[in-house]
Amino acid sequence: MDDVVSLDPDLLELARTARTVAVLTGAGMSAESGVPTFREPGKGLWDRWSPAQLATPEAWEADPELVWSWYLWRARQVRLLRPNDGHRALARWARTARVRVVTQNVDDLHERAGSEVLAHLHGSLFAFRCSACGTPYPGDLVDGLGLDRAEGLDEPVRERPPACPACGGPVRPGVVWFGELLPEGAMERAAEAVAQADLVVVVGTSGLVQPAASLPLIAAGRGIPVVEVNPEDTALTPHATWSVRAGSARALPRLAPGGGAEPASR
Ligand code: APR
């Protein structure tokens, strides 16, 4: 990734004057916080583990302990990591424009940087519910195991999911598995945010998973400018007005008005 991010003056002017901005983020948004992506060759989660074994309802039925342990491991990692300058730049942008964040990510780094998230399209690592009766589980199940650094969490630890207090069924992660429906209303809110935007910013997604990947095409189809922030070309690149080939932690502080770095947040 290049050190100095040079942005098209027309893009910078539009970012400065846009009243409504829709931001669509994927795993690359959190990469520079230390959260692994899914499909990056040699380091993505799906290089080490099989989505069929961990991220489907069938996987849960086959081995709820394995699935539970893996998601709790990911949640503990996130708990020990921090938002990056890209998250903070988006939060600052919202002080001068209407910035609506739609994320595929299940981490809480946007929120911890101060952004409101309009939709978590694929759920959250920190929401839990009963897999049998659907009752939300009220407790915070993500303990840091007394660790203060994510490096101590290089492997999941096998453990049993807690029992639902209402029916005794096993509690599951509040994430959306392949083949499951997205949270009610999430795509509708996201599509509306994109359709009403003066600028759509697509950050850190390979653009391979539907229906999230269809959102930038709504903008392109309406002639709404789209900027992609990603070190690599993606399936969405042909639909982008601008492509910023840099990491989001470096590019977003340059793109967002008032996005310059500030002291570290929570
Ligand atoms: N800044 C911006 N983008 C980055 C950075 C970075 N620092 N580092 C990597 N990327 C890009 C990669 O080039 C890649 O295009 O982030 C993208 C990550 O792509 P994926 O790993 O496929 O993640 P994502 O697109 O979010 O996956 C979508 O797939 O498995 C499901 O539910 C999961 O939400 C996830 C969905």
Can you give the pLDDT at residue 217? 97
Q: Is the Cα torsion angle 211, 217, 221, 223 positive or negative in sign?
A: positive
Query: For the structural domain made of 9-255, what CATH number should be given?
Result: 3.40.50.1220
- Average pLDDT value for residue range 142-164: 78
Best of 5, 29, 32, 39 for a ligand 1 pocket test (most atoms within 8 Å of beta carbon): 39
**Which residues are near ligand 1 (CB < 6 Å)?**
26-28, 31-32, 37-40, 44, 104, 122, 203-206, 208-209, 229-232, 234, 247-248
Which ligand 1 atom lies nearest to the CA of residue 27? 26
Give the lowest-confidence range in 134-143, 208-217, 230-239: 134-143
Amino acid in the structure at residue 190: A
Can you give the pLDDT at residue 258? 76
pLDDT bracket for residue 30 (50, 70, 90): very high
Best of 25, 37, 71, 110 for a ligand 1 pocket test (most atoms within 8 Å of beta carbon): 37
Distance (angstroms) between ligand 1 centre and the Cα of 206 equals 5
Tokens of 231: 């070190």
Amino acid in the structure at residue 71: Y
pLDDT at 5 over 60: yes
pLDDT at 207 over 70: yes
d(CA 159, CA 70): 9
Can you give the pLDDT at residue 256? 97
Tokens of 76: 């503990």
Best of 48, 202, 206 for a ligand 1 pocket test (most atoms within 8 Å of beta carbon): 206
Can you give the pLDDT at residue 174? 97
Q: Where are the domains of the chain?
A: 9-255
- Average pLDDT value for residue range 2-31: 93
Residues identified as active-site:
122
Q: Whose CA is nearest to atom 29 of ligand 1?
A: 209
Distance (angstroms) between ligand 1 centre and the Cα of 141 equals 26
The set of residues, in sequence order, having a beta carbon less than 8 Å from that of 153 and lying 6+ positions away, is 73, 76, 77, 80, 145, 147
Which ligand 1 atom lies nearest to the CA of residue 176? 32
Reported pTM? 0.94
| Percent of residues, the chain, with pLDDT higher than 70 | 92
The set of residues, in sequence order, having a beta carbon less than 8 Å from that of 236 and lying 6+ positions away, is 202, 205, 207, 213, 216, 226, 228
pLDDT at 13 over 60: yes
Is there a contact between 161 and 69 (Cβ–Cβ < 8 Å)? no
pLDDT at 266 over 50: no
| pLDDT tens figures, 220-250 | 999 999 999 999 999 999 999 999 999 999 9
pLDDT bracket for residue 157 (50, 70, 90): confident
Can you give the pLDDT at residue 35? 96
